[in-house]
């Protein structure tokens, strides 16, 4: 059965077009123009209901040891109230999910994961407990998650009573419009902003208050359609498109997130370490189309007349006014920045140039004052 977030009535009242996404009935757009919603986030501020995402609390004496055994990142280096982008590899280094881990206390952590992968993640985490003293507590059904994203997000949050002296990738308890929340300065748009974790019963109140207070900043509710083009411009991966169980973090271009010197063993470590040194069998590249055509998910990619891979995500970039894509290709040195490849679109080959990631510079690295 398709699930609804606690904000479902709000979306319906706003005339949102609703779609099924990862088992949830979610707003894909509130207006007829995804481009307008996209630009609102780039130029002002947008409000997203991302309550479908999973929240899993991990606590207990062995919480650190446990987390260090399931992710390539070094959780012992994660300071109190800090967040780190992580992956959950299987034994072969393939990705079960990508997630953010937050340190909430000496032995307490929060995982925020993809809605589509929550069940798999929970199964995997429980299977990997191996007698450790750790509690894995899925609280996804008790929390709503509201994302406030854009260059005006900080002004808006400050106006609503949140202390905004908070760095990017940190989480703090705080109050927004008098409601106690967990405020994480993170997002999925490439912009500065917050993801606000709130108990379900307060989510509708908070949603209304944010739209009300945000009016002077030009706030709009933003659907999954613009969320997708925003994250693509920032070259942020979408699980199921750009990440899956047959893809390692090295192949996905996530080597930057993996410490080489972590001592503890973790699932897939041998494969990941080997690939960090020598590269994977494929690599994720960023493409800009050289004509007006649009590369879409699963379109084939050619290089020198040979099929070398496929597109995983592709869309028009409203910010660049060009059509962009992410694609996996054979790990050939010749397919580097500046190289031209071809994408098969409706039985014709169209040129695309390999460009650096991200497509649009991120503005989400903020130092709290």
Partner 1 sequence: MGITEKILCSSTHEYLLDNENGTFTIGLTDYAVEQLGDIVFLELPEVGSEYKKGESFAAIESVKAASEIYMPISGKILEINEPLVETPEELNQDVYENGWLVKVEATADAATEMNDLMEYEDYKESVH
**Which residues of the chain form contacts with partner 1 (CB under 8 A)?**
28-29, 32-35, 225, 228-229, 292-294, 296, 315-316, 318, 346
- Which residue, 34 or 47, is less far from partner 1 as judged by CB? 34
Closest approach of partner 1 to the CB of residue 21, in Å: 12
Nearer to partner 1, 118 or 343 (CB): 343
Contact call for residues 198 and 179 (beta carbons, < 8 A): yes
| Residue 221 or 316 with smaller CB distance to partner 1 | 316
Please check whether residue 358 is in contact with residue 306, taking contact to mean a CB–CB distance below 8 angstroms: no
Cβ closest to partner 1, residue 177 vs residue 294: 294
The least CB distance from residue 181 to partner 1, in Å, is 32
Min. distance of Cβ 296 from partner 1 in angstroms? 6
Strands 143-149 and 3-4, bridge-based pairing: unpaired
Pairing relationship of beta strands 54-59 and 108-113 according to DSSP bridges: antiparallel
SS3 132: coil
Question: In terms of C-beta density within 10 A (0-12 exposed, 13-18 middle, 19 or more buried), how is residue 348 classed?
Answer: exposed
Tell the residue number behind the tokens 């405020």, with chain if given: 183
Question: What one-character DSSP code corresponds to residue 60?
Answer: S
CA distance between the termini of the chain? 46
> Looking at residue 152, what DSSP letter applies?
T
Residue 281 CB, nearest approach to partner 1 (Å): 29
Identify which of 155, 196, 149, 186 has the alpha carbon closest to the alpha carbon of residue 38. Answer: 149
- Output the CA torsion sign for 108, 125, 55, 81: positive
Which residue carries 């020598």 as its tokens? 278
Nearer to partner 1, 348 or 365 (CB): 348
Q: Identify which of residues 228 and 251 has a Cβ nearer to partner 1 in the complex.
A: 228
Per the CB < 8 A criterion, the answer to whether 354 and 309 are in contact is no
Q: How far is the CB of 49 from partner 1 (least distance, A)?
A: 18
CB of 246 to partner 1, least distance (A): 25
We find the least distance from the C-beta atom of residue 323 to partner 1, in angstroms, to be 8
State the Cα–Cα distance between residues 131 and 288, nearest whole angstrom.
49
Q: Which is nearer to partner 1, 89 or 318 (CB)?
A: 318
C-beta closer to partner 1: residue 144 or 313:
313
* Residues ≥6 apart with Cβ < 8 Å to 321: none
Minimum CB separation of residue 35 from partner 1 in Å reads 5
DSSP sequence for 155-222: HHHHHTT------TTBEEEEEETTEEEEEE---SSSS-EEEEEEEGGGHHHHHHHHHHHHGGGT-EE-
């Amino acid at each position: 059965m398709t699930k609804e977030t606690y904000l479902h009535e709000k979306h319906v009242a706003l005339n949102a077009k609703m779609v099924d996404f990862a088992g949830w009935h979610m707003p894909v757009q509130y207006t007829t123009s995804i481009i307008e919603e996209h630009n609102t986030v780039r130029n002002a501020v947008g409000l997203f209901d991302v309550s479908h995402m999973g929240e899993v609390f991990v606590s207990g004496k062995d919480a650190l040891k446990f987390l260090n055994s399931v992710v390539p990142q070094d959780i012992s280096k994660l300071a109190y109230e800090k967040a780190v982008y992580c992956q959950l590899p299987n034994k072969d280094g393939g990705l079960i999910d990508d997630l953010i881990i937050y340190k909430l206390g000496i032995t307490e952590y929060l995982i925020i994961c993809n809605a589509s992968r929550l069940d798999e993640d929970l199964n995997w985490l429980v299977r990997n407990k191996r007698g450790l003293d750790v509690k894995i507590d899925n609280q996804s059904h008790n929390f709503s998650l509201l994302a406030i994203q854009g260059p005006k997000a900080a002004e808006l949050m400050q106006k609503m009573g949140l202390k905004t002296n908070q760095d990017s990738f940190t989480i703090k308890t705080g109050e927004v419009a008098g409601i106690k929340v967990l405020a994480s300065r993170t997002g999925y748009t490439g912009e500065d902003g917050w993801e606000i974790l709130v108990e379900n019963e307060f989510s509708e109140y908070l949603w209304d208050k944010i739209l009300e207070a945000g009016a002077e900043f030009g706030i709009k509710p933003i659907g999954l359609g613009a969320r997708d083009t925003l994250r693509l411009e920032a070259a942020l991966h979408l699980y199921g498109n750009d990440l899956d169980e047959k893809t390692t973090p090295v192949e996905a271009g996530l080597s930057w997130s993996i410490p080489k010197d972590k001592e503890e063993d973790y699932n897939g470590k041998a494969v990941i370490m080997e690939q960090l040194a020598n590269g994977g069998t494929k690599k994720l590249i960023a493409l800009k189309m050289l004509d007006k055509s649009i590369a879409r998910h699963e379109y084939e990619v050619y290089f020198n007349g040979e099929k070398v891979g496929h597109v995983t995500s592709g869309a028009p970039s409203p910010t660049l006014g060009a059509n962009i894509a992410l694609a996996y290709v054979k790990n050939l040195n010749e397919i580097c920045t500046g190289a031209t490849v071809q994408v098969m679109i409706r039985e014709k080959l169209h040129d695309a140039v390999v460009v650096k990631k991200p497509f649009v510079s991120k503005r989400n690295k903020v130092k709290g004052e």
